[in-house]
Homo-oligomer: A and B are copies of this chain.
Amino acid sequence: MMNKPEIITSRTNKKIKDASSLLSSRERKKTGLFICEGARLCADAAQNGVEIEQLFITEKAADTYREAFCSLGKAAKQTFFIDESAAEKLSDTASSQNIFCVCRKKNDPRSFESKGFYLLTDNVQSPDNLGALARSSEAFGAAGLIVCSGCDIYSPKALRASMGALLRFPVFVRESCAEAARELKKLGFSVFGSVPDKNALDVRFAEKGEKTALIIGNEGAGISEETKKECAGFVTIPMAGRAESLNAAAAGAVLLWEFTGRNDMYGGFYGKHS
């Protein structure tokens, strides 16, 4: 039986200040901790082996999200009831569920799978794009996502946009995308870059082998020159009209669909097109 939690009624309380500092990526880097907001995301963390240091929750939220409260209360090392002003200080959303966990960052999965499809992001900056790419990678059965610099995978916005996929799914963090590409190549993977360039290979005709990786570049600058040198080739999504490019998350979804969901995952219904 859990003891009656301590009640925090001040937004200047040290524990609240420490937890809210995790809304900044610098503090997350320094401490190795991050903050999860919302019943669903906190539950995703708990169910996926993420260590939960602290649970902060308003009494009302504990009542509303009773089930989440019980399981998180068991998983967390410490539980605190907080009032709404403290909750506001921890929240990154417009309408908060007033339930927060301070978690320890996960270790990377030990190693890459010996086959499958990997998506790499080379300095993708937008947390919305990163989150959506993680969500699509999971939905289309990729083997994993390799996030190379750019947006922090523990950004509250990215976690939300991923609907928890960043916590559930095999996500690797690397400083250098070129280095990650070399790692994959050593394992026998073919590494392709995606580019908005009519002269690149139409993605429909790309070989969809069982050891393939694809790089999505930065929203403005695309794939870095250093990373491009590691690519076996470049694929593109043909476009009409005056559009010059797609949003990174939209392009990623279509590429994932072509390389995994559409072709292999369901028994390659249409056969290999290449």
Contact = CB atoms under 8 A, between A and B. Distances in A.
Contact of A257 (B169, B237, B269): B237
A156 interface: no
A191 interface: no
Contacts of A239: 139-140, 261
A141 B240 contact: yes
Nearest to A266: B238
Contacts of A250: 132, 135-136, 249-250, 252-253
Contacts of A269: 204
Interface residues of A, number: 40
A251 interface: yes
Copies in the complex: 2
Given A139-B239, A254-B257, 20 more contacts: A128-B128, A132-B249, A132-B250, A135-B246, A135-B247, A135-B250, A138-B240, A139-B243, A141-B240, A161-B247, A204-B262, A204-B269, A238-B261, A238-B265, A239-B261, A249-B249, A250-B250, A250-B253, A270-B270, A270-B273
A186 interface: no
A161 B135 CA distance: 19
Contacts of A261: 237-240, 254
A261 B131 CA distance: 25
Contacts of A242: 138, 168
20 contacts: A132-B250, A135-B250, A139-B239, A139-B241, A140-B239, A161-B247, A163-B244, A165-B243, A168-B242, A204-B269, A204-B270, A237-B257, A237-B261, A240-B261, A240-B265, A247-B253, A249-B250, A250-B250, A254-B261, A257-B257
Contacts of A139: 237, 239-241, 243, 245-246
A46 B125 CA distance: 30
B204 A246 contact: no
A241 B132 contact: no
Nearest to A165: B243
A243 B96 CA distance: 23
A3 to B, nearest CB: 33
Identify the interface centre among A131, A242, A266: most chain B CB within 10 Å of its CB: A242
